[in-house]
Amino acid sequence: MVNLPSGVRLERSDIGHEYLNVATDAAEATVYLQGAHVAHFQPVGEQPVLFMSSMGLPQPGKAIRGGVPVCFPWFSSHKTDPSMPMHGLVRQRNWQLDWADRDELGRIVLGLSISWDESMFTAFPGRFKLSLNITVGREMELALTALNTDNRAWTFEEALHTYFHVGDIQKVSVEGLAGVGYSDKVDNFAKKIQNDQPIEFTGQTDRVYHQTAATCVVHDRVLNRKIEIAKQHSLTTVVWNPWIEKAKAMDDFGDDDWRRMVCVETANTHEQAVTLQPGESHTMTLGVRVM
């Protein structure tokens, strides 16, 4: 059993999810061991930063909708087998809590991991260890590290599929991607280039921005705040809102939930997939700050 610092408790929900509850003078957070899933982050004096589905948590073993899902080793659907789970193998499995500590700045730092096992072979034969370090202070930092523990090279996709809580998506804009090329999934993956204006939302939006390491900022005119999303070693940014009809078709998503969320995802997908040689590792980081 890992020794937990003051401000961190390991608890179990009524339906069986184990989770870490973090509460400090700077912020509070909730991290589920299933998927190493950050479901809540709220600096003191602020509104919650992350969106969670109004439908509530599913039973253990079902993917959690909202927060920060970890997608690995593929993004979206499996390339050759659509029966495989969306967004990879690690969202629906329990991770191990390796350590928990308080750093020199008083922030809580959690280390979780999951390793390849034989049940994953058919979907992804490459052996790996995946680690997620989560730092909770006035800002939240996530560092996702993939290690190749196999004797051959393999290629993977990854994402920190972050759902942000907003007051009204129709009064939200996202800046930081001007001039960046993207694939428009709503328009049959048409290749386009973002104009010099911030992204605004007037309908279903599902865009994969390529070759960008840019910091993005969500401007929320209703909640009167900005959320800065900084990243390192990520060359893909995904911007998503399902809008009205798709929201109604999703059984784990409230009919009106589309109004109060936007995904700005830190990723390496498609042409930006990462190849690791045996023994090599890759770390992708995300930093979230309310301004």
Biggest alpha carbon distance in the chain?
52
The token duo for 4 is: 């937990």
Report yes or no: 209 and 149 within 8 Å, Cβ to Cβ: no
With a pLDDT cut of 90, the percent of the chain lying above it is 97
Looking at the DSSP assignment, which residues form a beta bridge with residue 156?
A: 274
Q: Of 40, 78, 161, 165, which one is the catalytic site residue? A: 161
- AA letter at 212: T
Phi-psi group of 7: left, alpha or beta (phi > 0 → left; psi -120 to 50 → alpha; rest → beta) = left
pLDDT for 36 beyond 80: yes
Amino acid sitting at position 97: L
161 is catalytic: yes
Q: How would residue 44 be classed by pLDDT, with cut points 50, 70 and 90?
A: very high
CB 82 within 8 A of CB 195: no
Q: For residue 1, is it within any domain?
A: no
- Res. 1: pLDDT tops 80: no
pLDDT band at residue 8 using 50, 70 and 90 as cut-offs: very high
Mean pLDDT of 174-187: 98
> Do the beta carbons of residue 180 and residue 212 sit within 8 Å?
yes
In this predicted structure, what is the pLDDT of residue 171?
A: 98
Report pTM: 0.97
Q: What would the mean pLDDT of 94-111 be, rounded to a whole number?
A: 97
* Of 265, 270, 280, 282, catalytic: 265
Per the domain annotation, does 2 fall within a domain?
no
**Residue 197, beta-bridge partner list:** none
Cα dihedral sign, 144-88-237-44:
negative
Answer yes or no: are the C-beta atoms of 126 and 146 closer than 8 Å: no
**What's the pLDDT at 79?**
86
In a domain, 192, yes or no: yes
CA distance 115 to 11: 23
CA distances 87 to 67, 92, 165, 225, Å, are 15, 10, 21, 30
The helix (run of H) or strand (run of E) holding residue 140 is strand 140-148
Could you read off the pLDDT of 138-153 as tens digits, one per residue?
Answer: 999 999 999 999 999 9
Total domains, the chain: 1
Read off the pLDDT band of 82 (50, 70, 90): confident
Q: What is the pLDDT of residues 230-287, one digit of tens each?
A: 999 999 999 999 999 999 999 999 999 999 999 999 999 999 999 999 999 999 999 9
Query: Is pLDDT of 48 > 90?
Result: yes
Residue 3 lies in a domain: no
* CATH code of the domain covering residue 189: 2.70.98.10
Domain span at residue 258 reads 8-290
Give CA–CA dist 81/235, Å, rounded. Answer: 25
